[in-house]
Structure 1
Amino acid sequence: METANYTKVTEFILTGLSQTREVQLVLFVIFLSFYLFILPGNILIICTIRLDPHLTSAMYFLLANLAFLDIWYSSITAPKMLIDFFVERKIISFGGCIAQLFFLHFVGASEIFLLTVMAFDRYAAIC
């Protein structure tokens, strides 16, 4: 008779990029600054396209959607990573890990689809 393993994974331990406190603080500042440059930059792109009446072609509509997806894409994992720089026990639940993985793949696939549509739009404009 075979024995089966019935253990259930409920959480994952994240080892992170570093275990030393000084390096974690430096990495926190670096990743936070990247995140704080990405968000306003994409919001500025969206607002500029929406508010300027001259930017009404299909490419600008697609560009605004690409900026919107980029906000979502960068907001999937960055907040959890930034929080983990300050907590002692770096864990993520199984459901949280699956949710991050799902949304990362979903938004990534949406960006790929949108980039394909943008490339086809340029191809149609040239030809």
Structure 2
Amino acid sequence: MSAPEVDVEKIDRVRLKRGLLRGNQRAADASRRPARIFVLERLSTRTLSIFWSDPQSGHYAEQTWRLGLARTNGICVLSGRPISAGEEVFRPRCSVTYIPANSKYMILNSVFSDSAISHTRAAI
């Protein structure tokens, strides 16, 4: 007696329809902007201190965000500008043991060259 065949493509179509595929879910979530976000302080040229409050991704009073390169396309949570893979962005600091709920969000580094945001609190 042989094992039944599994139709992987059919499973992926069902997951896609239900929004359960990781890539599809990330894109849907990344387009939604958080309820409240403030840049508290620019700690260094490579780090920011962020206040983040959102009913779905939680509350972070002084979360550290680090500069890096965008791995995927997305939307800047401060400016709403599109982000292309490879652009310099700030993302929440993650580790092997801790991945925050808002880890998929990004802030463009170029936003901080704008005089309105460079040395003041930015709020959404």
TM bracket, shorter-chain basis: under 0.3
TM-score, length-scaled by structure 2: 0.24
Structure whose residues are more often helix by fraction? 1
Whichever of the two has the greater Rg, that structure is 1
TM-score, length-scaled by structure 1: 0.24
